Amino acid sequence: MAKSLGIFVSDPNCLQHVIGVTKAAKAKGSKVKIFFTWTATHNSKDKAFPELCALADDVSICVDSYKKQGYDISDVPQGLTEKKMATQAQHGIIIEDYDCYLSF
C-alpha cells in the first residue's frame, strides 16, 4: 500500500514546490492532504492553486488565517469548497493520520 503524505504550508512563496512534491507523491501512489495556514493562505489566490486542488486528495486552508490576511471568508478560493475553509484541526489530522509529514 502506498504511504500517505500530509503537507503543512505556512510559507507564502512555495506553491510551485508544493505542487512538485504533490505530483511526485501522487505518481508513486500516495494519498496527499495539504493544509495552508497564516501567510501561506495568499497561495490560494495564485492561478496555479486550482491545479493543486485538483491534483491532491484533500486541500484546505485555515479560515481564521485567511481572514487575518485580509480576505473575506465568503470569497472561497477557486478549487475549494466552503467546507475546506477549515480550522487548525486539519493540521492535527495530518499529524495524527498521515504516514509522512512535510512542512513548508
Average pLDDT over residues 1-20: 93
CATH code (residue 55):
3.40.1260.10
Domain that holds residue 74: 4-103
The count of domains in the chain is 1
What is this structure's pTM? 0.94
pLDDT tens digits for range 70-91: 999 999 999 999 999 999 999 9
Q: Residue 13: pLDDT above 70?
A: yes
3-state secondary structure the chain: CCCEEEEEECCCCCHHHHHHHHHHHHHCCCEEEEEECHHHHHHHHCCCHHHHHHHCCEEEEEHHHHHHCCCCCCCCCCCCCHHHEECCHHHHHHHHHCCEEEEC
